[in-house]
Amino acid sequence: MYLVSKIEDTVRIPPNKFSDPLEDVAVEILNESYVGKIDKKLGLMVTVKEIEEIGTGKVIMGDGAAYHDVLFTALFFKPELHEIVEGEVIEITEFGAFIRIGPMDGLVHVSQVTDDYINYDGKRGALIGKESKKSLEEGNKVRARIVALSLKGKSSKETKIGLTMRQPGLGRFEWIDEEKNKKKPTKKPTKGKK
């Protein structure tokens, strides 16, 4: 889930940036400092949207830089347990598929791809159902549910997101469409009135 939050901080503007527009420099520095970092309550910071307030700069002796108190809005991505997410398969391994969901990646373990027994085809780079012949490959678009979540650490590389596709309405989009089409009732011809 994406959310926007307001944050107060102090930004250090180096002397070589004094001639540039203050807000632009502040956004650039804040993005360098925060983008890709994780806050346990807010999630992963994606970007600084805008600076709402910027205070008068204070110079600290011996530094030469100006320190400004700022209030800014930032966009965060925070996955939630049991949330349904859509993404793209970015890597297939013997043990599962890595799915890119927004700015983060999750893992669908082979046991959570389908109800079928799954074989790994290393040449094709695919996971294939033994009986159903359903295949999962890089580039496939999928829908999954978050079943395990650990936002420990300070960056997205340290997070762990476990996904499942073994529930109705989940899986590769083509599988979902096939299931929908199987469930559609066939129309019986109507007899004309005399």
What is the 3-class SS of the chain, one letter each residue? Answer: CEEEEEEEEEEEECHHHCCCCHHHHHHHHHHHHHCCEEECCCEEEEEEEEEEEECCCEECCCCCCEEEEEEEEEEEECCCCCCEEEEEEEEEECCEEEEEECCEEEEEEHHHCCCCCEEEECCCCEEEECCCCCEEECCCEEEEEEEEEECCCCEHHHCEEEEECCCCCCEEHHHHHHHHHHHCCCCCCCCCCC
Q: Domains of the chain: which residue ranges?
A: 2-77, 84-183
Identify the pLDDT of residue 60: 84
190 vs 12 pLDDT, higher one: 12
Taking only the tens place, the pLDDT of each residue in 130-181 is 998 899 999 999 999 999 998 877 777 778 999 999 998 999 999 888 888 8
CATH number of the structural domain 2-77: 3.30.1490.120
93-139 pLDDT, tens digit each: 999 999 999 899 999 999 999 988 999 998 899 999 999 889 999 99
What's residue 19's pLDDT?
Answer: 92
* Superfamily classification of domain 84-183: Nucleic acid-binding proteins (2.40.50.140)
Question: Residue 187: pLDDT band by 50, 70, 90 thresholds?
Answer: low
pTM of the prediction? 0.79
